[in-house]
Amino acid sequence: MSLIKTVATVGGWTLVYRVSGFIRDIAQSSILGAGIFSDIFSLAFKFANMLRKLFAEGSFNASFLPIFSHALKDKGRDEAQKIASQVLTWLVFIVSFIMIICLMCFRNIMHGYAPGIDPESEKFEHLVVLGKICSPYIAASFLAALFGGILNTVNRFAMPAGAQLILNVCVIGALFIGPLCFPSTAYTMAWSTFLAGIMQVALLWWNTSFCGFRIWFDFSSVKDEVKFFFKKLVSGAIGAGVWQLNVIIDFVLLSFLPTGAVSYFYYTEHVNQFPIGILGIAFSTALLPPLTRAIHAKDNITAQKQMNLGLLFAFLFTLPASVILISLCEPITGAIYGRGNFSPEHVAAAAPALAAFALGLPAYIATKVFSTTFFANKDTRTPLNGGIVSIVTNLLFAFLLMPYMKHAGIALATSLSAWCNCFYLVFSLKKLGELRIDRKTIKECVNQIAVSAVMLFSIIAMNEYAASYYMNGGIDRNVSVLIVSCASIVAFLFVGKLFKLFDFLNEIKSLDNA
């Protein structure tokens, strides 16, 4: 399957997932606003969801896919199936043990996760209960990642990407069902998260069986490939999922801020996750197999082209998205969340965090491309070191900015740390020998930045006329945001055509057809 087709398949399903996520967040913000229950559900959901982000969208595929792919190609289906079964066996054992320990010590874990909340308060009690309800989703994320990785290996990209949709459908259904006998709608949403995890695993397991892989428990002697997988999994999780690790650290710091800060951060981070989720997952999923094959065949020329073209393809989307989110942060926040219990004051408070997040958007996607290149070379140490750099710089920037910018300062710290990670990986490319960013790619990146600057000036000019419509709110604001965004994209496409910004797409097609 070609790079463009794979990105379109995975990105298309992820687009549906992100759109449904917007619907979920819109309903949640409208019903819960930015109050206590909104804060505690956001904390509990983020805690349960983080391992899915780290493993299903991070290091699991990067660690498992090369091992399973090589076994399938070199040793046959039976050997690959045996490796996957042993991974399943030990995964269930390890995750079950971790979950039992976590549930036994859950109050202490929640106190460490949200130290700013008084452990004697009613808010903390609700957080503990919601966290326990949501926590089985953590175990489900491991199994979903395993079955999804098998399907990705045999080019069945649609189902693993589409299975994510189940979560949002369940939560949206819970919002419409209402609080029932629970203290708040937040409890209904937590139970729906629990149900979604079970449904995702069942669907992906059934699809794996349909493809001819009978994955079940295998207690025979552990193979070297399985040992290698678990050895690389932890370090790879930090390298590939560093963005999520930083977000968790951010939520710990947010617990010290007044009520509402967690909700502002949570909602705007999800807006920023729209392009990140579509492109980040799609690129790591689509780039890893061809890069792995090229490097396995010692075809460094093709591998370098894949990396460079992947970087250009990523920037082509993220730079314009970043410009739009920064320059239209408040109107966009109002258009998405400004209704029901989410007041104009809440919109004004949340908008700076969206702009701060968007600043790091290109860096995050570039990091995905570079991390995937290292993973394809079976090097997880370098992304791990980059993750450590990012975590340290995130903490440093957060402590410096939080006193002055509150939740927006924490968001900005996350973006700045993403750029630090990106630059570290760029300078570390020399470890891979001939794999590097060539001069042509650098020139193309500069052209993309220049065209994005033109796009920014066009938005600034249009904002002069649209400002009064933004102030009106409602339909006037929403239509104005749509018109300004679309017009700026047209400007980007027109100027980009003059700069021959899209010519590299022909190289991707020729590389896919080679």
Task: Identify the CA nearest to 13 among candidates 256, 243, 368, 286.
Answer: 286
pLDDT of residue 316: 85
- Whether the full predicted model's pTM is greater than 0.85, yes or no, is no
Q: Pick the residue with more confidence: 144 or 305?
A: 144
Separation between Cα atoms, residue 30 and residue 351, nearest integer Å = 16
Write the secondary structure of 193-238 as one string of H (helix), E (strand) and C (coil).
Answer: HHHHHHHHHHHHHHHHHHCCCCCCCCCCCCCHHHHHHHHHHHHHHH
pLDDT of residue 401: 95
Taking only the tens place, the pLDDT of each residue in 427-482 is 888 877 766 788 888 888 899 999 999 999 999 999 888 888 888 778 888 899 99
pLDDT of residue 236: 61
Taking only the tens place, the pLDDT of each residue in 355-400 is 999 999 999 888 888 887 787 777 778 888 888 899 899 999 999 9
Q: Which of 55-64, 147-156, 345-354, 474-483 has the lowest mean pLDDT?
A: 55-64
501 confidence band (pLDDT: 50, 70, 90): confident
329 confidence band (pLDDT: 50, 70, 90): very high
pLDDT of residue 242: 58
Please determine, for residue 296, whether its predicted confidence score (pLDDT) is greater than 80.
no
Taking only the tens place, the pLDDT of each residue in 184-239 is 788 888 999 999 989 999 999 999 988 888 888 988 888 888 888 887 776 666 55
Q: How far apart are the first and last CA of the chain?
A: 12
The percent of residues in the chain predicted with pLDDT above 70, rounded, is 85
pLDDT of residue 397: 95
Please report the sign of the dihedral spanned by the C-alpha atoms of residue 294, residue 295, residue 296, residue 301: positive
The percent of residues in the chain predicted with pLDDT above 90, rounded, is 28
pLDDT of residue 484: 93
Dig out the tokens for 167 from the structure.
Answer: 């979560």
User: What number of other Cβ atoms are within 10 A of residue 79's Cβ?
Assistant: 15
Please determine, for residue 158, whether its predicted confidence score (pLDDT) is greater than 80.
no
> Mean pLDDT, the chain, as a whole number?
83
Please determine, for residue 262, whether its predicted confidence score (pLDDT) is greater than 60.
yes
Separation between Cα atoms, residue 502 and residue 514, nearest integer Å = 20
Write the secondary structure of 153-206 as one string of H (helix), E (strand) and C (coil).
Answer: HCCCCHHHHHCCHHHHHHHHHHHHHCCCCCCCHHHHHHHHHHHHHHHHHHHHHH
Write the secondary structure of 359-393 as one string of H (helix), E (strand) and C (coil).
Answer: CCHHHHHHHHHHHHHHHHCCCCHHHHHHHHHHHHH
For 219, counting Cβ atoms within 10 Å of its Cβ (0-12 exposed, 13-18 middle, 19+ buried), the class is exposed
Separation between Cα atoms, residue 168 and residue 189, nearest integer Å = 10
Task: Identify the CA nearest to 306 among candidates 500, 149, 514.
Answer: 514
pLDDT of residue 21: 83
**Cβ within 8 Å of residue 82, ≥6 positions away:** 218, 220, 223
Separation between Cα atoms, residue 475 and residue 432, nearest integer Å = 53
Whether 455 contacts 323, CB under 8 Å? yes
pLDDT of residue 502: 83
Average pLDDT of span 159-168 = 83
For 183, counting Cβ atoms within 10 Å of its Cβ (0-12 exposed, 13-18 middle, 19+ buried), the class is exposed
pLDDT of residue 89: 92
The Cα angle at residue 434 between residues 510 and 309, in degrees rounded to 5: 30
Kind plus residue range of the DSSP H or E element containing 56: none
Average pLDDT of span 44-58 = 70
- Please tell me whether residue 337 adopts helix, strand or coil conformation: helix
